[in-house]
Structure 1
Amino acid sequence: MWRSGVPDRHFFYLHSGFARSLGFMVTDKKVERLENASVKLTITLDKDSVKKEYDDTVRHYSKSAQIKGFRKGKVPLEVMERKFGPSLRAEALQKLLESGLKEVLDDIEEQPLPYAQPTLTDEDIDLNPEEDLTFSVQYDVFPTIEPGEYTGLEVEEPQVEVSDEDLDRELKAIQEQNAMVQEVEDTPVEKDHIVTLDFWEVDAEGNPVPDSERQDFVFTVGSGYNFYNVDEDVIGMKPGEEKTVTKEYPEDYSFKEIAGTTKTVQIRLKTVKKRDMPELDDELAQDVSDKYKTLQDLKDDIRKRMVDTAEARVRETKSNNLVKKIVEGATLDVPESMVRAELSQFWQDFIRQTGSTEENVMKMLTMQGKSPENLFEEWRPNAVERLKGRLVLGKIMEAEGVEVTDEELEESIRERAEESGMELDEFKGYLEQQNMTEYLRDQLRETKLFDQLFEKSKIVKGEKVKFLDLMQRKS
């Protein structure tokens, strides 16, 4: 009939409109700043308000109470108190806590973050209808941010050049994409052949290890894209042949499930295919796109796109270097609830990147002896640094008054529509459907901000980096 025990420790009503104003008197409120952008809020309600809420609660339930010896709705209040006292006090206390907190939060600057619901700090709080009620809650607030010095900083800019080797690698990839693949019989496997094989682990007695068999596995020899790293082992084999190999895997092996172990693997080669690579000539260029008439047209366009990509990555690296220096000189505490929200976003991104479902990702982690919590701990330093960077940049953007006008946004949308080959109205419709219009505005604001910061920084030449190494660096 009634809730019993202690009141809820978390106040989820704050954003649901559940709490009601009781019109009582808050006789005292005190905000205490804690570490990591957390606050402790202590509130005192006067005893008249406490008494009234308790009496109202008792009267409310007495109207519907059915107790032997009394007519429905005619149970004396003292009987109600004697029989249901703890539950009635808990009910009244919950209402007082919720409504009292709402009334105070409507009047103070220190607001809880959307994902940081206030938590009751009192372990053994109880209600005495004849006394004032004092209680405390703790919650996270938006952190105070002091950016420190963010102009005149020295920032390294990596030096990169697109070489002929980089161009040749891209051209080879185009050849492979346009190659004809044909099966070859009675031909030993060579590097770059495409092979299909079955494999399974065997134990010390030579018996297959349960659940280790994989059938019709396809990979390009030399790519390394296979679980047991058997590229070198299949070279020289012919279709129909089998081979047993014993492999030692280092502690840092890419597949953690077998890192630091020794495995004996049985291989059965089923098919061998090779790519019939087209010549690098004008005809290939025309096959790639109608906009190319000659092979030189294709080469020039590839080099231009690679230069553009390298410049974008250099700018990204330069931006990261600058943000790191700014954060080092900034003063701010990141609240734990904000870190948890960021880690939750990391988790969702991780699932999307796998192209699988959350259920399958959980199974994969279990097979590796891991859990999401393990990943969260690995990701935490990066999450904290990313949050600090965003928070500090937001503060600087506010201080510098960086804004993007509707005209600037419209021009950017027009340029992107042309790049995508879409009509302007069609591209606008796509942005609106994906809720990306304001996201694009934020991107433009950030670009503007970095343009200003770079102008006020000392840009120095950094290390020389190969194009491929730059592309493979983590951003």
Structure 2
Amino acid sequence: MIAKKDVELLEKSAVKLTLTVASADIKSNYDELVKKYSKQAQIPGFRKGKVPANVLISKFGESLKAETLNNVVDDALKEAFDTIEEKPLPYAQPELVDEKLDIDLDKDLTFSVKYDTFPNFELGEYKGIEVEEDSVSILKKDEEAELKKLQDQQAIVMDKENGTVRKDNIVTIDFAELDEEGNVKEDTKREGFVFTIGTGYNLYKIDDDLVGKKKDKEFVIEKEYPEDFEYSDLAGKSIKLQVKITAVKEKQLPEINDDFAQDISDDFETLEDLTKDIKDKMKKRAEEKLKSQTLEQLMTKLVENTEIVIPQSMIEAELENSWNNFAGQTRMSPDQLVEFLSADGRSKEDLLKEWEPNAIKGLKERLIMGRIIENEKIEASDDELDKEIENQATAANLPLDQAKEYFQSPQMKEYLVHSITDKKVVDFLLENANVKKGKKIKYLDLMEGKQ
């Protein structure tokens, strides 16, 4: 069908494809269409299937030509995409370049389409890249802090006997702002609000104002807020807040001993067993965090070393996927999320614009990793697939046979292959990096990203 084709590479991984279809093929397509409709058309004065071609053409000629044009363009594009390397991305719909495209049964048809294609790029150097890896010091106080977290989790919350509020107590309050005449502002009224004194998890930041107050007492708090207060509705304002404490609770902490360790898990017989497990887990978390940071340095330099132009349709698809994932995480539908943002004076477009730099960086990283996997012929062996299925079964607490059945489908097997090759390429890059000794940092700073 295609008499001539020309592929022109444009900026931003776009392609302009120009095709010429011979008039004989156009005429053949047109004749087949006329023949088909002659057998199907029902026109007064003619039996079904007996409508003469010239009658059909005189009545529907322009429509027949338009359908022939669509068929010829679609068939030509399909044939071209089967033969050229520069195929369109799945989400990049080819667009006709020609503003007006007409068909002449006696002439060849030439038309052009533009579309985005997979980025073609030269991979930069990815071995011997210099990165710094910090080391972490896990102190006795860090271990004690982890133990204290477990103690807090095992605490029993009970009503406080004297009902006097102290730091770390859990209080339930009713509150409302008062106007200048001392009347309640109904839109600020709230009942049954619960928070822990000292956390600051309340709009008005009244933790210190409640210390020393008693349950079932009603009182008024007067506060002035600075111009740079974190909540703009209160910044630079003075308020009167009517408060009633309806409940005061305190935590009864368990004693840290062998019994405490046994309550945490049947795996521990003594406090020493629990302490060792805490140390091991802290060490593992620190190693994973340091590895992640080193990899982030490495990927940043890989992106800098490799020039890749990401097509716009690929960026838009990535952002749309992020948007849908974000909506899922917030447990809102995309439409509900738009309304939520609108109430805050923002839009979906504002959010996507904020995300775009990270989306582009993430796409470049995935393209680079994919190319390295190809270059180094990194694959997932059958043994590795079996091992990964075992790991997935253990993590999901599933019988191994059930897990194997679940991962039999081509889609799930592909997921496993990607999971394994991604891990292997990360290990490959780190093994081939020039890792220099970095600074020594505290465990808590590492975990909180303060280093």
SS at match of 1:341: helix
CA gap of 1:421–1:58, structure 2 versus 1, over 3 A, is closer
Deviates more, 1:149-158 or 1:345-354: 345-354
CA gap of 1:248–1:66, structure 2 versus 1, over 3 A, is farther
- Conservation of the 8 A alpha-carbon contact between 2:258 and 2:271: yes
User: For residue 149 of structure 1, what is the aligned residue in structure 2?
Assistant: 125
* CA displacement, residues 314-368 of structure 1 (integer Å, 9 cap, x when unaligned): 1111111111111110122212222222222322332333345545434432322
Deviation at 1:464, TM superposition (A): 3.1
1:98 to 61, 74, 79: 74
- Conservation of the 8 A alpha-carbon contact between 1:26 and 1:46: yes
The question of 1:439 aligning with 2:415 is answered yes
Task: Map 1:342-421 onto structure 2 (within 5 A).
Answer: 342-358=318-334, 360-414=336-390
The question of 1:466 aligning with 2:442 is answered yes
Task: Map 1:46-57 onto structure 2 (within 5 A).
Answer: 46-57=22-33
CA gap of 1:185–1:242, structure 2 versus 1, over 3 A, is farther
Q: TM (normalized to structure 1)? A: 0.82
User: For residue 218 of structure 1, what is the aligned residue in structure 2?
Assistant: 194
Letter in 1 for 2:292: E
The question of 1:167 aligning with 2:132 is answered no
Task: Map 1:229-244 onto structure 2 (within 5 A).
Answer: 229-240=205-216, 241-244=218-221
Deviates more, 1:417-426 or 1:453-462: 417-426
Work out the CA distance in 2 between the residues paired with 1:307 and 1:44: 66
Q: TM (normalized to structure 2)? A: 0.86
User: For residue 13 of structure 2, what is the aligned residue in structure 1?
Assistant: 37
User: For residue 322 of structure 1, what is the aligned residue in structure 2?
Assistant: 298
* CA displacement, residues 364-404 of structure 1 (integer Å, 9 cap, x when unaligned): 32322223222211111111111111110111111111223
Deviates more, 1:243-252 or 1:167-176: 243-252
Deviation at 1:30, TM superposition (A): 1.0
- Conservation of the 8 A alpha-carbon contact between 2:389 and 2:407: no
Deviation at 1:79, TM superposition (A): 6.1
User: For residue 286 of structure 2, what is the aligned residue in structure 1?
Assistant: 310
- Conservation of the 8 A alpha-carbon contact between 2:209 and 2:221: no
Deviation at 1:450, TM superposition (A): 2.8
* CA displacement, residues 84-110 of structure 1 (integer Å, 9 cap, x when unaligned): 454333222211211121121112111
Letter in 1 for 2:436: V
2:96 to 92, 117, 120: 120
Deviates more, 1:130-139 or 1:321-330: 130-139
Work out the CA distance in 1 between the residues paired with 2:99 and 2:229: 47
Work out the CA distance in 2 between the residues paired with 1:77 and 1:433: 51
CA gap of 1:410–1:52, structure 2 versus 1, over 3 A, is closer
Letter in 1 for 2:133: E
1:294 to 260, 270, 274: 270
User: For residue 283 of structure 1, what is the aligned residue in structure 2?
Assistant: 259
Work out the CA distance in 1 between the residues paired with 2:179 and 2:63: 64
Deviation at 1:280, TM superposition (A): 1.7
CA gap of 1:137–1:350, structure 2 versus 1, over 3 A, is same
Deviates more, 1:136-145 or 1:300-309: 136-145
In structure 1, runs of 5+ residues without a counterpart are 1-24
Work out the CA distance in 2 between the residues paired with 1:302 and 1:465: 19
Deviates more, 1:348-357 or 1:319-328: 348-357
Question: Percent identity of the aligned residues?
Answer: 42
- Conservation of the 8 A alpha-carbon contact between 1:191 and 1:235: yes
Deviates more, 1:412-421 or 1:85-94: 412-421
SS at match of 1:394: helix
Letter in 1 for 2:69: L
CA gap of 1:60–1:438, structure 2 versus 1, over 3 A, is closer
User: For residue 337 of structure 1, what is the aligned residue in structure 2?
Assistant: 313
CA gap of 1:448–1:161, structure 2 versus 1, over 3 A, is same
Work out the CA distance in 2 between the residues paired with 1:236 and 1:130: 97
Work out the CA distance in 1 between the residues paired with 2:243 and 2:61: 75
Deviation at 1:111, TM superposition (A): 1.4
Work out the CA distance in 2 between the residues paired with 1:455 and 1:112: 36
Deviation at 1:60, TM superposition (A): 4.4
Deviation at 1:192, TM superposition (A): 1.3
* CA displacement, residues 296-322 of structure 1 (integer Å, 9 cap, x when unaligned): 221111111011011011111111111
CA gap of 1:105–1:273, structure 2 versus 1, over 3 A, is same
Work out the CA distance in 1 between the residues paired with 2:274 and 2:365: 40
Letter in 2 for 1:329: N
Deviation at 1:231, TM superposition (A): 3.1
- Conservation of the 8 A alpha-carbon contact between 1:242 and 1:269: no
Work out the CA distance in 2 between the residues paired with 1:282 and 1:342: 51
SS at match of 2:128: coil
* CA displacement, residues 182-208 of structure 1 (integer Å, 9 cap, x when unaligned): 112653322211122234556666666
Work out the CA distance in 2 between the residues paired with 1:250 and 1:115: 48
Work out the CA distance in 1 between the residues paired with 2:411 and 2:140: 41
Work out the CA distance in 2 between the residues paired with 1:438 and 1:373: 33
Deviation at 1:421, TM superposition (A): 6.9
User: For residue 269 of structure 1, what is the aligned residue in structure 2?
Assistant: 245
* CA displacement, residues 213-262 of structure 1 (integer Å, 9 cap, x when unaligned): 44322222222333444434433333332435556487794x7x858675
* CA displacement, residues 1-51 of structure 1 (integer Å, 9 cap, x when unaligned): xxxxxxxxxxxxxxxxxxxxxxxx312111111122221111111222223
Deviates more, 1:270-279 or 1:337-346: 337-346
Deviation at 1:275, TM superposition (A): 0.6
Give the aligned CA root-mean-square deviation in angstroms. 3.3
CA gap of 1:308–1:422, structure 2 versus 1, over 3 A, is farther
CA gap of 1:211–1:35, structure 2 versus 1, over 3 A, is farther
User: For residue 115 of structure 2, what is the aligned residue in structure 1?
Assistant: 139
CA gap of 1:469–1:52, structure 2 versus 1, over 3 A, is same
- Conservation of the 8 A alpha-carbon contact between 1:233 and 1:245: no
Task: Map 1:52-71 onto structure 2 (within 5 A).
Answer: 52-58=28-34, 60-61=36-37, 70-71=45-46
User: For residue 8 of structure 1, what is the aligned residue in structure 2?
Assistant: none
Number of residue pairs matched? 447
The question of 1:188 aligning with 2:164 is answered yes
Work out the CA distance in 1 between the residues paired with 2:159 and 2:409: 46
CA gap of 1:335–1:86, structure 2 versus 1, over 3 A, is same
Deviation at 1:460, TM superposition (A): 1.2
